[in-house]
Amino acid sequence: MEMGSAQFAALAVCVCIFASGAMVDGQNVTGGGTRPAELHIGVLFTFDSVIGRAVMPAIELAVADVNADPGVLPGTNFSFIMQDANCSGFVGTIKALELLAKDVVAVVGPQSSSIAHVISHAVTELHVPLVSFAASDPTLSSFEYPYFVRATTSDYFQMSAVASIINQYRWRDVIAIYVDDDYGRGGITALGDVLAKEKSKISYKAKLPPGASMTTIEDMLMHVNEMQSRVYVVHVNPDSGLAVFAAAKSLGMMSSGYAWIATDWLSTVLDASEHINPDRMELTQGVIMLQQHVADSGIYHSLLSRWNNLTRNGGHSSLSSYSMRTYDSVWLVAHAVEEFLSEGNAISFSTDPNLRDTKGSNLQLASLRSLNNGEKLLEKIWHANFTGASGQVQFTVGRDLIHPAFDILNIVGTGFRTIGYWSNVSGLSVVAPEELHSGSLNSSINNVQLHGVIWPGQTAAKPRGWVFPHHGKPLRIGVPLRTSYKEFVMQDKGPDGVKGFSVDVFKAAIGLLPYPVSFDFILFGDGLKNPSYNDLVQKVSDNYFDAAIGDIAIVTNRTRIVDFTQPYTESGLIILAPAREIESNAWAFLKPFTFQMWSVLGVLFLFVGAVVWVLEHRTNTEFRGPPRQQIMTVCWFSFSTMFFAHRENTVSALGRFVLLVWMFVVLIINSSYTASLTSLLTVQEITSGIQGLDSLIAGSGAIGYQVGSFARSYLIQELNIAETRLVPLNSPSDYARALELGSGNGGVDAIIDELPYVEIFLSKYCKYKTVGQVFTKSGWGFAFPRDSPLAVDLSTAILTLSENGNLQRIHDEWLTGTKCSTDDSVGSSRLSLSSFWGLYLICGFACVLALLIFFSRICCQYRKYNNQVGLECHEPELITRPARPARLTTIKSMISFVDKREEEVKNALKKKPNDCLQPRIGTIGEQSTLPL
């Protein structure tokens, strides 16, 4: 990034001012190849400031400790030159350039990020490291300014800690109060970036000019107090930051319901005096503040003891994190210079050729000399690794201090207590970061992220984080003034002015919220037709209404401008078309079964009758007689079983088995026929010829839609239906009239509307029917402005209503069951052969099995009968008859045997051989007659 024009101008003016009295020394080499007798570092900060009073003793102690350590810079007097920035960017820049003109090997400071931005250009040109103990602006990048060394924690990590706290308490909107300089802007920009990752955001940035008056601060706080968020992040300068809390307390903003989070500037202010200041503590009761974490170590305790001895009578502040960062910064430079000299490098300065005066310039830029081999010294700084008072001093690849961590403190009473820690390794935790780094953790303790907090107003209850920004005024709830389907929303003379299903759901959900919400219902519409719901939602987006309730469909174009609650009922578009009953005719009784079904059924009746005749013929006299009589018996028996009216009884076990299976089949067929015939005689069919959405789109007839519904835009934009085909309809009576007339007579072929409306319509008009399925899946919800927390809370309440059954109870109170069927079928299917093939298979299998058993038994009997009677008795007629082929004789004998009565066969098998000849004496030549 190039130097800004304002910064460059300031730098040029400062050079002109200080260089007018400077001497041009050419090249100066200190010490040659040996160690120099004296080394100077420059120190730049504001003496009379909160941070300055904490820094000055730290510098004195650090330099003294360096000179007392024989292992660091032996034989060299390490000293410092201090300059007062005097809380001015302009003065601070001048003083910085004066330091650079005094051949310092490094500059420790400044405390201001704004000054650091300017002089980073100068130190980069002169190759002098700038080690800052307080410039925390994240935009101060060591990659952009190579010689800028941040010896403190970047505000990027501090803002990550703040974002973790906000996410811990599930706040989604915060207001940032910050000083309008590089330090404030850089920190709040980083906070916004980190919050975005946590699905939160800064809803408003309240900036204060540096050194803002109390009036300016109060005006700003009154403005933010009118907003919805009650979570404030304060990122200001320590010298004027308490004025924000003083103004907030005077305005009543340090009471219950507010949440304040202060960055580490507040801990610096509270550490500014050795003794607790009750007035300061009173202003900040309940505030959560951050403090740079300092590990408990021997170096820290040693420094603390010496600090107390030094500052007991000096009027300086107590030891703070900035004090320790400054102390470690001096040591960082000392260690780097020691390594630099140990490698045989010399401390020397030379005139920068880029700063030579040309054409008689009076700026005398040559008085600013660059440090030879400054890049090597800088490299030693980046590779430093030692333990200081603030902890481990070591830099990451990104040139930040390793293990950034913060203490999270809660101001209570006359002090503050630690409620947790944040580190970039573990996030929030109640375990100290150094314990987490060691790896010895108690998982049950580590799972606790923060201890309890006492919030402003001396309450332990977590602030909700937002309020209605109306100063107690009721919410303006927009309600559509419907002229039809008033079961959902209707005007009423009661206290609310409205009632209906949607209204009762809203009131029940509001009643479940853990806080009171006052509201007024405001009707939207002219009362002559249903209002446009898109316009109603737009009113919410424009903040004309604070919310809108009713039968509002959640569709894409509406979700772009408002937030909806959880749907409280399902919805979606469906086709409604006219239907009529099918007229009966003389052959209506044949329609339940297909032709194939009737044919197979007739064949099966005859087949079963024949099987039963075969099985009963030898044992049952009712199945014997002349051939004509037996044929009539088979036909009669077959079809009479359909009505269970057969007179013939079955006596054989196999016949009864077949008849039992057949009766079961007949029972199923009769029941199915009756049900199908009933359905066919009462079924409705669609008269418009529309069979579904595709046929509706492909047609050219008129299509109706409800006034105010999103159906119109959906049909035009999504289904590409010509606008000229669309007919607006307002009431159920309009629906019925338009469907009755039809498209050719000024009506419509079909209506597309949302399912809840169609269900109510069909409960009153039974001559119409739905076609197909719901082809858009949506629901009805309540609309709120974008990012409204009330929408989230109401969604939870609606889910609770659904789970405890109250939502269904409200539904049943307003929306009774429909009287007409909304079955979407357009006809009743005729029963085909495929519906009964299983039954037929069972029946056929039973018949075949019975016949197999029967003929197996016949064959066994015939063999015995033929051996015993036919061969031993030598029937005369067989002797006297002419010879015939053996096969024909056997078949005829078999048929004759099958035709014999069962009783006759059994008696013949019981007779002895001598008994069969006696009756035949004297009868030779006579022909015996076999009964048929």
Q: Which two tokens stand for residue 232?
A: 């404030």
**Mean pLDDT value across residues 903-931:** 49
Q: Would you place residue 499 in the very low, low, confident or very high pLDDT band (cuts 50, 70, 90)?
A: very high
Are 191 and 281 contained in the same domain? yes
More confident residue, 456 or 33: 456
Query: For the chain, what is the domain count?
Result: 5
pLDDT at 610: 78
Tell me the C-alpha distance between 850 and 654, whole Å: 6
pLDDT at 352: 76
Tell me the C-alpha distance between 257 and 465, whole Å: 7
Tell me the C-alpha distance between 616 and 656, whole Å: 9
- Residue 519: other Cβ atoms inside 10 A: 18
**Which tens digits make up the pLDDT trace of 809-837?**
999 899 875 555 444 443 445 566 666 66
Q: Would you place residue 700 in the very low, low, confident or very high pLDDT band (cuts 50, 70, 90)?
A: confident
User: Which residue from 10, 107, 27 is spatially nearest to 353, judged by alpha carbons?
Assistant: 27
Are 172 and 99 contained in the same domain? no
Q: Would you place residue 461 in the very low, low, confident or very high pLDDT band (cuts 50, 70, 90)?
A: very high
Are 111 and 237 contained in the same domain? no
Q: Which two tokens stand for residue 402?
A: 């390793």
Are 140 and 183 contained in the same domain? no
Are 280 and 162 contained in the same domain? yes
Are 141 and 86 contained in the same domain? yes
pLDDT at 13: 46
Are 132 and 280 contained in the same domain? no
Residue 932 lies in a domain: no
Buried b (16+ CB within 10 A) or exposed e, 822-848: beeebebeebebebbeebeeebbebbe
Are 49 and 185 contained in the same domain? no
Tell me the C-alpha distance between 185 and 202, whole Å: 13
Say which CATH number the domain at 220 has.
3.40.50.2300
Residue 498 lies in a domain: yes
Q: Which range of residues forms the domain containing residue 594? A: 588-679
Q: Who contacts 715 (Cβ-Cβ below 8 Å, separation ≥6)?
A: 703, 705, 721, 726, 752
Q: Residue 365 gets which letter from DSSP?
A: G
Residue 42 lies in a domain: yes
Last residue of a domain, one of 771, 788, 804: 771
Are 168 and 241 contained in the same domain? yes
pLDDT at 362: 54
Q: Would you place residue 675 in the very low, low, confident or very high pLDDT band (cuts 50, 70, 90)?
A: confident
Are 303 and 289 contained in the same domain? no
pLDDT at 123: 93
**Mean pLDDT value across residues 695-720:** 89
Residue 19 lies in a domain: no
| Tokens 């540096």, residue located | 210
Residue 485 lies in a domain: yes
pTM more than 0.75: no
Strand pairing category for 475-480 and 547-548: parallel
- Residue 496: other Cβ atoms inside 10 A: 14
Q: Would you place residue 918 in the very low, low, confident or very high pLDDT band (cuts 50, 70, 90)?
A: very low
Least confident of 207-216, 260-269, 671-680, 806-815: 671-680
What does pLDDT average to over the chain? 81
| Rg of the chain, C-alpha, whole Å | 51
Tell me the C-alpha distance between 195 and 166, whole Å: 8
Residue 68 lies in a domain: yes
Residue 797 lies in a domain: yes
Are 486 and 561 contained in the same domain? yes
**Which tens digits make up the pLDDT trace of 239-286?**
889 999 999 999 999 999 999 999 999 999 988 776 677 888 999 999
Q: Would you place residue 298 in the very low, low, confident or very high pLDDT band (cuts 50, 70, 90)?
A: confident
Tell me the C-alpha distance between 648 and 246, whole Å: 111
Are 185 and 110 contained in the same domain? no
Residue 887 lies in a domain: no
Tell me the C-alpha distance between 504 and 498, whole Å: 10
Tell me the C-alpha distance between 404 and 200, whole Å: 23
